[in-house]
DNA sequence: ATAGACAAGTTTATGTTATAAACCAAATTA
DNA sequence: TAATTTGGTTTATAACATAAACTTGTCTAT
């Protein structure tokens, strides 16, 4: 009846990061930080987790002389995100019970 | 951009309990336990939290000689549930960015 | 040239939380 | 009456989210 919710995605900040990346395809650390309102520390940790799970790719480059952390969603991540949404519906779509 | 998610509802089991109660209006502990697949201990704790927040009412009665714990959603709880759904949309509705 | 401020993160520490395991009391069954 | 089941509660633990502190390097003003 209730589908299990991917614990990796069922966390406010990680979900926000994934949501951003689904639509932007590629985003820099400071941009994500600004859009989500997260602290850098928290964001860093959550990006690591998403990356470790293979949900996103992290590329460390330079923008001029400044370090620049680029994030991209992976096919695995996109699939997980979509499945998470499907699972959520089993909780929200009250009429289907 | 991303609306904050009520931490009380952003938890798998509590969300499932609320989801059930939205449609049933009243449910017994064993029924909720069966529908959610939760352990009794976990369910007991989460029901306490929802009850402490005023999201549900818990009535302890007897069914014949056996204790019977009845749960009902409150207007506050229903409102919180609906607002949670609205907030979630800001994460899921990718097109709106 | 160097002191101070700022940018971009990372690491560490802490308090919360979800969850399961252990427990309890009463009723039913063997 | 001993064992089992029902209906939970309490306690313990491990994971988690988050913020605070720290690091490394750049830019700016003196």
Q: State which residues form the domain around B71.
A: 7-89
In a domain, B68, yes or no: yes
Q: Report the CATH number at residue A72.
A: 1.10.10.10
In a domain, B60, yes or no: yes
In a domain, B32, yes or no: yes
With residue B53 as reference, give the H or E element that holds it.
none
Count how many pairs of residues, chain A against chain B, have C-beta atoms within 8 Å.
Answer: 52
The yes-or-no verdict on residue A93 having pLDDT over 90 is: no
The yes-or-no verdict on residue A2 having pLDDT over 50 is: yes
In a domain, A54, yes or no: yes
Q: How far is CA A2 from CA A81, A84, B32, B81, in A?
A: 17, 12, 12, 16
DSSP B63: E
Closest partner residue to A92 among B5, B85, B94, by Cβ?
Answer: B85
pLDDT of residue A97: 47
The yes-or-no verdict on residue A10 having pLDDT over 80 is: yes
pLDDT of residue A96: 57
pLDDT of residue A40: 92
In a domain, B96, yes or no: no
Query: Token pair of A26, please?
Result: 């590629």
What domain count does chain A have?
1
* Residue burial A14-35, b: 16+ Cβ < 10 Å; e: rest: bbbbbbbbbebeebebeebbeb
DSSP A55: S
Closest partner residue to B23 among A19, A36, A97, by Cβ?
Answer: A97
> Considering only CB atoms, which chain B residues are within 8 Å of A12?
2, 4-5, 10
Residues of chain B with pLDDT under 50: 97
In a domain, A71, yes or no: yes
Condensed to tens digits (0 to 9), the pLDDT of residues A36-79 reads 999 999 999 999 999 999 999 999 999 888 889 999 999 999 99
In a domain, A94, yes or no: no
pLDDT of residue A25: 77
What's the whole-model pTM score? 0.92
In a domain, B37, yes or no: yes
């Amino acid at each position: 009846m209730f589908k299990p919710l991917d614990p990796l995605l069922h966390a406010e900040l990680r979900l926000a990061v994934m949501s951003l990346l689904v639509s932007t395809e590629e985003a820099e650390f400071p941009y994500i930080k600004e859009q989500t309102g997260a602290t850098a520390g928290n964001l860093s940790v959550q990006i690591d987790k998403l990356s470790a799970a293979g949900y996103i790719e992290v590329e460390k480059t330079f923008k001029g002389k400044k370090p620049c952390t680029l994030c991209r969603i992976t096919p695995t991540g996109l699939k997980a995100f979509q499945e998470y949404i499907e699972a959520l519906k089993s909780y929200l779509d009250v009429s289907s019970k």
